[in-house]
């Protein structure tokens, strides 16, 4: 890693975040500027710059958690589906591999005809905490 990493700081609890899940290998929290409310970032605790740099074992660990998080976001928020995406270097604003899990509903307006992503803000810290709690509970209820 070339310099400080905000995601490593979040994992170490040096920067506040609405944590949705954490275990020995994986960490997940609400995106502070979500595409839709409930937009969650899933990453390994261990710093790895990009998807291309993951070992097969790290990939399996990360995407097992991503799969569970997709289910949790849908169940916890009553979403009809989810969008799961990761950027590799281009548009990767933080060079710590992470996967976006975004709850989806028909007609949610996420994509325009030009594939533009619009970002939202949470109305309050309390709203973000409530959403994180719902996803956390649903994530814990999903069998591995």
Q: Where are the domains of the chain?
A: 6-84+96-138
**21 catalytic, yes or no?**
no
pLDDT of residue 119: 76
Q: Is 127 helix (H, G, I), strand (E, B) or coil?
A: helix
- Answer whether 26's CB lies under 8 Å from 10's CB: no
The residue written with tokens 């710590």 in the block is 96
From the first residue on, what is the mean pLDDT of each consecutive set of 10 residues in the chain (144 residues)? 83 97 98 95 97 96 98 97 92 92 92 66 94 93 79
Of 18, 21, 98, 100, catalytic: 98
pLDDT of residue 117: 62
pLDDT of residue 114: 60
What residues form DSSP beta bridges with 44?
Answer: 26
Among 44, 37, 77, CA closest to 60: 44
CATH number listed for the domain at residues 6-84+96-138: 3.30.428.10
Transcribe 63-119 into DSSP letters. HHHHHHHHHHHHHHHT-SEEEEE---STT-SSSS-EEEEEEE-TT---B-TT--B--
State the Cα–Cα distance between residues 48 and 84, nearest whole angstrom.
19
**Main-chain phi, psi angles of 70, to 5 degrees:** -60, -45
């Amino acid at each position: 890693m070339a310099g400080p990493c905000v995601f490593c700081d979040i994992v170490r609890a040096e920067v506040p975040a609405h944590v949705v899940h954490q275990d020995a290998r994986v960490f997940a929290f609400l995106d502070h500027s979500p595409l839709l409310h409930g937009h969650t970032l899933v990453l390994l605790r261990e710093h790895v710059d990009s998807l291309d740099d993951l070992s097969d074992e790290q990939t399996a660990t990360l995407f097992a958690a991503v799969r569970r998080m997709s289910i949790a976001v849908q169940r916890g928020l009553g979403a009809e589906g989810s969008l799961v995406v990761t950027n590799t270097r281009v548009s990767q604003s933080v060079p710590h591999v992470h996967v976006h899990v975004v709850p989806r509903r028909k007609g949610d307006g996420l994509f325009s005809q030009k594939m533009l992503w619009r970002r939202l803000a949470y109305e309050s810290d309390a709203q973000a905490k409530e959403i994180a709690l719902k996803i956390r509970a649903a994530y814990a209820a999903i069998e591995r």
